[in-house]
């Protein structure tokens, strides 16, 4: 009998290559055809291993990784809400899984742990933003009980794309 281990924990600098790979795979799958190609390539090139090494070297629980059978299969970045007009204390800035690991409950596991960490840090109420055209993300957050509470535009190169805020009390 074989057992696959799944764990969610704070990211370490040694996870940087794995997080970078997840970022590239997930963003390419989610945003090709939504974000203008040049803007998407620019975003991908800025988020290589060096970026994630710097981010994770700060320590703390601002970046979580989901480890599946020894490899980084997903990550979440989180902290205080950055949108002053929304009265929620916490925000999940990013939550991504490798496309090969989506649809089997791992995203929910990562989301649940991110919420737990935020509450432990006394950040109550949660907001998450998703591009309006990212139907998969919108379904995911709505399925977790998120209510659409705001809309705005996000610049990507010369384009401004609509995005939606999902919130939990």
Q: Which tens digit of pLDDT belongs to each residue from 97-129?
A: 999 999 999 999 999 999 999 999 999 999 999
155 is a domain residue:
yes
Print the domain residue range for 32: 6-168
Q: For position 148, what pLDDT does the model report?
A: 98
Rounded Cα gap, residues 169 and 157, in angstroms: 33
**Coil, strand or helix: which one is 152?**
strand
**In the predicted structure, residue 72 carries a pLDDT above the cut 80:** yes
Rounded Cα gap, residues 129 and 141, in angstroms: 9
Higher pLDDT, 59 or 159: 159
**In the predicted structure, residue 64 carries a pLDDT above the cut 70:** yes
**In the predicted structure, residue 60 carries a pLDDT above the cut 80:** no
Q: For position 2, what pLDDT does the model report?
A: 61
Q: In angstroms, what CA-CA distances link 3 with 59, 70, 74, 100, 110? A: 30, 12, 19, 18, 19
Number of domains, the chain: 1
Q: For position 121, what pLDDT does the model report?
A: 93
146 is a domain residue:
yes
1 is a domain residue:
no
Domain of 49, CATH number, reads 3.40.630.30
Rounded Cα gap, residues 80 and 96, in angstroms: 19
Rounded Cα gap, residues 144 and 112, in angstroms: 9
**In the predicted structure, residue 90 carries a pLDDT above the cut 90:** yes
Helical pair 37-46 and 16-31, crossing angle rounded to 10 deg: 170
81 is a domain residue:
yes
**In the predicted structure, residue 43 carries a pLDDT above the cut 80:** yes
User: Edge-to-edge strand order for the sheet containing 126-131?
Assistant: 6-10, 63-68, 71-80, 90-97, 126-131, 159-168, 147-156
């Amino acid at each position: 009998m074989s057992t696959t281990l799944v764990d969610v924990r704070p990211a370490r600098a040694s996870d940087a290559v794995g997080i970078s790979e997840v970022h590239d795979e997930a963003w390419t799958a989610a945003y090709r055809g939504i974000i203008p190609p040049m803007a998407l390539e620019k975003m991908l090139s800025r988020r290589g291993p060096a970026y994630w090494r710097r981010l994770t070297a700060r320590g703390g629980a601002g970046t979580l990784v989901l480890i599946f059978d020894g490899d980084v299969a997903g990550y979440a970045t989180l902290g205080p809400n950055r949108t002053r007009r929304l009265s929620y204390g916490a925000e999940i800035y990013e939550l991504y899984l490798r496309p090969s690991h989506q649809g089997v409950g791992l995203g929910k596991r990562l989301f649940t742990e991110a919420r737990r960490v935020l509450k432990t840090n006394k950040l109550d109420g949660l907001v998450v933003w998703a591009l309006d055209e990212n139907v998969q993300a919108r379904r995911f957050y709505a399925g977790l009980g998120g209510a659409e509470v705001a809309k705005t535009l996000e610049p990507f190169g010369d384009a401004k794309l609509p995005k939606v805020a999902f919130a939990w009390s």
